[in-house]
Amino acid sequence: MSNDHIKSEISLYLAGSLTESRNRQIEAHAAACEKCRHALAKARTKQSRIKREALKKASPDPMPNLFLARQGKTARDNY
């Protein structure tokens, strides 16, 4: 698998859409290939950022801030 780069399958890997066998192959390849390891790390970082942004937009304020409420604002307005 040394020349079989995984970049085209990274999204599927992160989404959990591949077989367990293929996941192990990808992990083994990424461990041995610096380019693919870097591409996988970059994709994970991007995925985490997207999830974080989606959670910020989707979730209501966990606890109302009375100071901001008196000013007619919410904690989300500060982002």
Question: 40 CB contacts (<8 Å, ≥6 apart)?
Answer: 6, 10, 13, 26, 30
> Which pLDDT score is estimated for 16?
95
> Which pLDDT score is estimated for 32?
96
Q: What is the pLDDT of residues 10-44, one digit of tens each?
A: 999 999 999 999 999 999 999 999 999 999 999 99
Nearest residue to 26 via CA among 37, 34, 41: 37
> Which pLDDT score is estimated for 76?
53
Angle between helices 34-58 and 20-32 (to 10 degrees): 120
Q: Taking residues 50-57, what's their average pLDDT? A: 86
